[in-house]
Amino acid sequence: MTTEPAISARSPRRERTRERLLDAAFEVFADQGVQGASIEAVCEAAGFTRGAFYSNFESKEELFLALMDREMRTHLADLERSVAAIDPAALDTPDGFRAALRSVVSGVGPDVPGERQWCVMKLEFELLAMRDPDVAARYTAGQQRQRAELIVVLTRVLDGLGLRFTVDVRTAVDLLLGAYEAGLRAALLGAPGDQHPEALIEVLVDVLTAAAPPR
Amino acid sequence: MTTEPAISARSPRRERTRERLLDAAFEVFADQGVQGASIEAVCEAAGFTRGAFYSNFESKEELFLALMDREMRTHLADLERSVAAIDPAALDTPDGFRAALRSVVSGVGPDVPGERQWCVMKLEFELLAMRDPDVAARYTAGQQRQRAELIVVLTRVLDGLGLRFTVDVRTAVDLLLGAYEAGLRAALLGAPGDQHPEALIEVLVDVLTAAAPPR
DNA sequence: TGTATCGGATACGTTGATGCATCGGATACA
DNA sequence: TGTATCCGATGCATCAACGTATCCGATACA
């Protein structure tokens, strides 16, 4: 999209500083917000000065876009990895089935340490997307890839078990993702009550498979 | 919470400028982001200079908190109003029931013009809450009030119809709110597919009332 | 070992937001 | 109509972030 120096033409050293700047950007953006963070702060966190930054990126916006693309690629890969790691044998028990489903829906399961940052950055992405059509297009494209992957996987898994959701699979995925995100956010904000992602997901799975024909 | 000049001790004139500043803050914050917006920009939008601002608020943060409190109060009032406006007669038909439920869940139904700003500001609130425990406490408190109201209302309505959700009412409310928000955000971001709030809500209602005992 | 190129550091001028100290006009009350 | 008070406007000094132009050291290659 933006003019990238023919990606192959980037020296290894250059590539490493880029990565370090992106890593730092993730931390600093999550901590202070994309708008609130200064380029200087990102550079400092990465152990560089602004000279290095302007040598690698044109602006904070370009840095942000590069970061978002990288994160979405990473999480799609994580999803595919955790899908590949599903143990078909464990699916027979309801608990195993729910666990697999949860780990798949969360994209990467309870990697609890980074959960907060991940959630915050997702909110930042959505917020920026609300204001910039270009960001919105990239963001929704990534979300759609994730959604498509989940649809395929769930269809396959349920077929294998001889089950069916009581609603269209695509709708089921949307509901599952919505419930998971809402629950996660509420939990991270310290909300009381029972709106925690695991609980919501389990209830939802029960409801969505309730009237399904037995194997 | 913060030192407010004994609310009664605010002259009507002063009160009006405060309101105008809050109105402007809503617009500007939604447009440029809380962090991205300058105090100057808010003042300009309100038709004042910074002198007026510093005479009424101590900082941008205090303005933000005042705005968040006001918005949450307003939306709770809207919710109670739309609850009061439910026509019991229309609840008999499935469509009427769903319509009532949707308008109640959305807090104020399809007031479509301001929907985008409302959604953006909610994201801003959540994001700021993620970073500041004080903001988080106020935000979740407001959310819990809304949730409690919905729980009461839905229980009452369903009882009147001789229906029951197939899951705990509190869980049902969480699922409905989650689905609505997720759908709304996706729709506003221009996502393709069927993840639109109305559709999700209707499916969810069907699922949640499917196995309910008939009247 | 000499040299050219690349990558990051340094230094500088510019801009825009901030907070305050002070001023001026309008409103209320005698 | 005169006067006091309140409230918002104006002017100013400060500061942080920005972007660029230039410099220096390291690596690659002859």
**Of A108 and A207, more confident:** A207
Domains of chain A from N-terminus onward: 1-58 (1.10.10.60), 67-209 (1.10.357)
State mean pLDDT over A5-25: 83
Report CA(B44)–C1'(D9) in Å, whole number. Answer: 13
Judge: A183–B177 Cβ closer than 8 Å, yes or no. no
Judge: B207–A203 Cβ closer than 8 Å, yes or no. no
Q: Using CB atoms, which residue from A140, A185, A210 is nearest to B191?
A: A140
pLDDT number for residue B170? 96
Please state whether strand C lies within 7 Å of residue A103 at its CB atom.
no
Chain B residues lying within 8 Å of A120, measured CB to CB: 127, 130-131
Nearest in space to A183 (alpha carbons), one of B93, B193, B171, B146:
B171
- Encode pLDDT of B106-128 as tens digits: 765 556 778 999 999 999 999 99
User: Residue A166: which pLDDT band, with cuts at 50, 70 and 90?
Assistant: very high
- Smallest CA–CA distance, residue A158 to chain B, in Å, is 18
Please state whether strand C lies within 7 Å of residue A20 at its CB atom.
no
Please state whether strand D lies within 7 Å of residue B51 at its CB atom.
yes
- How far apart CA A141 and CA A172 sit, in angstroms, is 19
- Encode pLDDT of B160-189 as tens digits: 888 899 999 999 999 999 999 999 999 999
- Encode pLDDT of B75-92 as tens digits: 999 999 989 988 888 888
Print the SS3 string covering chain B.
Answer: CCCCCCHHHCCHHHHHHHHHHHHHHHHHHHHHCCCCCCHHHHHHHHCCCHHHHHHHCCCHHHHHHHHHHHHHHHHHHHHHHHHHCCCHHHHCCHHHHHHHHHHHHCCCCCCHHHHHHHHHHHHHHHHHHHHCHHHHHHHHHHHHHHHHHHHHHHHHHHHHHCCCCCCCHHHHHHHHHHHHHHHHHHHHCCCCCCCCHHHHHHHHHHHHHCCCCCC
- Encode pLDDT of A54-110 as tens digits: 999 999 999 999 999 999 999 999 999 989 988 888 888 877 888 888 788 776 555
Low-confidence winner among A10-24, A105-119, B123-137 (lowest mean pLDDT): A105-119
DSSP per residue, chain A: -----TGGG--HHHHHHHHHHHHHHHHHHHHH-TTT--HHHHHHHHT--HHHHHHH-SSHHHHHHHHHHHHHHHHHHHHHHHHHT--GGGGSSHHHHHHHHHHHHTSS---GGGHHHHHHHHHHHHHHHHH-HHHHHHHHHHHHHHHHHHHHHHHHHHHHHT---SS-HHHHHHHHHHHHHHHHHHHHTT--SS--HHHHHHHHHHHHHTTPPP-
Q: Is the pLDDT at A186 greater than 80, yes or no?
A: yes
Q: Which of residues 10-39 of B touch A (CB under 8 A)?
A: 31, 33, 35-36
pLDDT number for residue A107? 64
